[in-house]
A and B are shown apart, each in its own frame.
Chain A
Amino acid sequence: MLQVAVVRFPGSNCDFDSLRAVERVGAHGYFVWHRDTHLQGADVVILPGGFSYGDYLRSGAIARFSPIMQAVQRHAAEGGPVLGICNGFQILCEAHLLPGALLRNAGLTFVSKPVDVIVERTSTGFTSAYAAGARLRLPVAHGDGRFVASDDTLRLLEAEGRVVLRYVESAAGSPLQPNPNGSAHHIAGICNPAGTVVGIMPHPERAADPLLGSSDGLGFFTSLAALQPKATTSTAQGR
């Protein structure tokens, strides 16, 4: 069975939602603590949303140096899939597993609302269940969601097709606010060149069940559930 580690930092608050979404697609999800030093045989790692370490200094800046992040770095370096959602995306950028940074929303206010996004890249560990160009309505809830990167980095992300999610522009006819935070190129999520490390600001785990009003985000989890488990014996078995 696919083993999915959900990392909990002090201040994580989407950990249970993420775990529930993982269980919903038939994978085995379990928590690992930020002080842990290994991932207990995880096939997939999720860095959930929240406010790790109170967002002190910069969002994700302190979490990046948690003991568990060394294990996450190794997992990612070996090609292991990692999904960072919201604060998890911020941590991935601070850890240099993804380029760029997430700064204070251009409007300065915390935004908590549904947004429309387009799935632009489907060849990742977390978006393979979607059709390219699919439009999703997902919740965002963040104060620091404005993606910035150097012009060179932005050009590279576009040229390599590494924009995973993009906020729908108003011209495309969405009735919702087009870009809730002033993100460069309307970027809502990106990935590493291989598509194994993905960071997104919207919360698919909050839209992964009809009871929550939408299943638009479930595809992130059905995508990961389709990944192949490692063949090694896992110490997470039986936990």
Chain B
Amino acid sequence: MARRFVAGLLRQQGHEVEEAADGEAALRSARERRPQLIVLEMVMPGRDGGEVLEALKGDAATRRIPVLVLSVRSREEDIVRGLELGAEDYITKPFHTQELLLRVRKILARTA
């Protein structure tokens, strides 16, 4: 549901959004479609976000795609871990919609 909401939010702003149901699908989709930005939740069944992030940064094809982590894991250690693994930015849930959109815009502008 969170995924659907965030996807809807981004689409409202005019972005083209593709959704992935879990870690495996996300990696596949990232390799095939080369998006300009990936919004990632750390807590997922199967391969968790941390593993996905590591895989993304370890693969030459996807290394340069910026990743914005949007996660319920909000402890200091979690945020540090996310950023260390290569995330461009880390937003914790619950979040402000406007803040999310702003950060997305900034990342896209920076990496355009």
Do A and B pair up? The answer is no
Interface of B toward A, CB cutoff 8 Å: none
